């Protein structure tokens, strides 16, 4: 599956309708983004059961700002509408494959419990 372009208009629908989405925040002037693009594209063809999306940070500044994207490329992995990974930097092919493998193996029930626990802890500290 080829990558899809995410905009503020289709972003929520894409994340709601798909269980597993990888998002590449990039810009056309960014050298590391250009280096990462073929690695990302190749992974999208290999893992056709996952959604690979791209956000042009120049074109979609509002969307990039809502995720506090400070540096590009930034890769984000979203499973079940939960961000499980977000790091700047162009990954080599092996690292991207390893990240996808780890993200697939993640127990989302455990992730949700951990998030609830952290939110409860931070809520009790605020009092």
Catalytic (active site) residue 23: no
Alpha-carbon span 9 to 26, nearest angstrom = 18
What's the token pair of residue 112?
């949700």
Q: Which pLDDT score is estimated for 125?
A: 64
**Domain of 118, in residue numbers:** 4-126
CATH of the domain at 51: 3.40.30.10
Domain count, the chain: 1
Higher pLDDT among residues 86 and 114, named by residue: 86
Query: Has residue 122 got a pLDDT over 90?
Result: no
Q: Which one from 21, 30, 63, 78 is the annotated catalytic residue?
A: 30
For the stretch 18-77, pLDDT in tens is: 999 999 999 999 999 999 999 999 999 999 999 999 999 999 999 999 999 999 999 999
Catalytic (active site) residue 9: no
Beta bridge partners of 25: 55, 74
DSSP string, 58-90: TT-HHHHHHTT--SSSEEEEEETTEEEEEEESP
Q: Which one from 33, 55, 63, 78 is the annotated catalytic residue?
A: 33
């Amino acid at each position: 599956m080829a990558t899809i372009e995410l905009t503020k208009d289709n972003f929520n629908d894409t994340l709601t309708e798909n269980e597993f989405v990888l998002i590449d925040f990039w810009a056309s002037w960014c050298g590391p983004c250009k280096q990462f693009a073929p690695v990302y594209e190749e992974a999208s063809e290999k893992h056709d059961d996952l959604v690979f999306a791209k956000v042009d940070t120049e074109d979609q500044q509002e969307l990039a700002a809502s995720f506090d994207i400070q540096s590009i490329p930034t890769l984000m992995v979203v499973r079940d509408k939960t961000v499980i990974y977000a790091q700047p930097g162009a990954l080599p092919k092996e690292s991207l494959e390893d990240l996808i493998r780890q993200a697939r193996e993640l127990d989302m029930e455990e992730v949700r419990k951990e998030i609830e626990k952290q939110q409860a802890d931070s809520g009790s500290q605020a009092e």
